[in-house]
A = this chain, B = another copy of it.
Amino acid sequence: MSETMKAAIFVKPGEMTVEEVPKARVEEPTDAMIRVVRTCVCGSDLWYFRGLSGHAEHSQIGHEAIGVIEEVGSAVESFHVGDFVVVPFPYSCGTCPVCKAGVESCCPHGGYFGANQAEYVRVPEADGTLVKVPGSPEDYDDATLASLLTISDVMSTGYHAAVSAEVKAGDTAVVMGDGAVGLCGVIAAKMLGATRIIAMSRHEDRAALAREFGATDVVAERDQEAVDKVLAMTGGYGADAVLECVGSKQSFDTAVGLARAGAVIGRVGLPHDVTISAEGSFYRNLGIKGGPAPVRHYDLGGLLDAVLNHEIDPGRVFTAEYDLDHIQDAYEDMDQRRVIKSIIRF
């Protein structure tokens, strides 16, 4: 009889549960299998939980994790049993032209994780996917583990927004979205040298954290009022860079409205019903860049070190902790905005 493990199960919109399912295992020579140390709930999981996007009912879910390797396939060369690793939400071959261009999140030989809210996770293409952390989980305190978990997705995604928006030293950057990604976007904008960081937030707890992360201003207005306010704050010219961390048409249109001519909108919010008017953006030389974050590219390119050196502290986006058995609470509390982001410990 095969082994089992506990896993979060998406029953239907609004309902999560935990069940025993067949334990994740190495299936291909290039796989690794990880014992999960921390996982969490993503804003994009809430799209399913709220019934706004489709997800197979009664199926596993989750794409963020850090953990320890329990088993490696025969073809895995760079990782070994016992290694402590970050599991980026996309898996990738690491060797094709797309990966070599630093866009691992679009590797045609890769894909996205979708069963990481569980005790164990199968990692395809382990060599091209995982990010090694020195030592073992026991060497780190809870705060550092939380920050390490963010570089499996939200911190890397916020960073992708800032890089895509081409934030540079001295810029005024606007961050659309005060979820965990937007808050990490504030950290990222600061890392890239923005001197004025305007966080769009109408939630006191999130606005406060945004300020602690480096936001110099908070704008609670929306739509044309938000545009007017940012224009007034920038002498009428608009923001040098915009991090679009929501994905709604409302947010995107606001981003276009408050961007300076020639600015780039770095978008990482999954687009929902967004259409881009080619003409409107053309005459203002507005750029649009972004997509799923190439997590591994950024983790190896500096984010892992920034966390380990305590230069950044993105784990603070986790404002409540749960065990896997309380996965329903972890979703519900985030859905109801009682917490910014829910972390699951094992």
A residues contacting B by CB (< 8 A) are 96-98, 101-103, 105-108, 164, 234-237, 240, 252, 260-262, 264, 267, 270-271, 274-279, 281-292, 294
Are B282 and A286 in contact, CB atoms less than 8 angstroms apart?
no
Contact partners of A105 in chain B: CB under 8 A: 285
Residue of B nearest to A160 (CB): B285
Tell whether A106 pairs with B274 under 8 Å between CB atoms, given A285-B292, A291-B283.
no
Q: Bound complex: CA of A185 vs CA of B103, how far in Å?
A: 25
Are A103 and B285 in contact, CB atoms less than 8 angstroms apart?
yes
Q: Bound complex: CA of A102 vs CA of B261, how far in Å?
A: 10
Are A101 and B240 in contact, CB atoms less than 8 angstroms apart?
yes
Are A287 and B289 in contact, CB atoms less than 8 angstroms apart?
yes
Most chain B CB neighbours (cut-off 10 Å) among A97, A252, A278, A281:
A278
Contact partners of A235 in chain B: CB under 8 A: 97
Are B274 and A279 in contact, CB atoms less than 8 angstroms apart?
yes
Q: Bound complex: CA of A282 vs CA of B261, how far in Å?
A: 22
Are A264 and B276 in contact, CB atoms less than 8 angstroms apart?
no
Are B276 and A275 in contact, CB atoms less than 8 angstroms apart?
yes
Q: Bound complex: CA of A102 vs CA of B102, how far in Å?
A: 27
Are B285 and A108 in contact, CB atoms less than 8 angstroms apart?
no
22 intermolecular pairs with C-beta atoms under 8 Å apart: A98-B261, A103-B262, A105-B285, A108-B261, A252-B278, A264-B287, A270-B282, A271-B279, A271-B282, A274-B278, A275-B275, A275-B276, A276-B277, A282-B290, A282-B292, A283-B291, A284-B291, A285-B289, A285-B291, A285-B292, A285-B294, A286-B291
Nearest 9 A-B pairs (CB), nearest first? A103-B262, A106-B261, A285-B291, A274-B278, A287-B289, A276-B276, A271-B278, A97-B237, A282-B291
Q: Bound complex: CA of A294 vs CA of B283, how far in Å?
A: 11
Contact partners of A96 in chain B: CB under 8 A: 237
Q: Bound complex: CA of A7 vs CA of B97, how far in Å?
A: 53
Contact partners of A264 in chain B: CB under 8 A: 287, 289
Expressed in whole angstroms, the minimum distance between the Cβ of A284 and any Cβ of chain B is: 6
Contact partners of A101 in chain B: CB under 8 A: 240, 260, 262
Expressed in whole angstroms, the minimum distance between the Cβ of A21 and any Cβ of chain B is: 28
Most chain B CB neighbours (cut-off 10 Å) among A98, A260, A282, A286:
A282
Most chain B CB neighbours (cut-off 10 Å) among A102, A287, A294:
A287
Tell whether A237 pairs with B283 under 8 Å between CB atoms, given A261-B108, A275-B276, A278-B252.
no
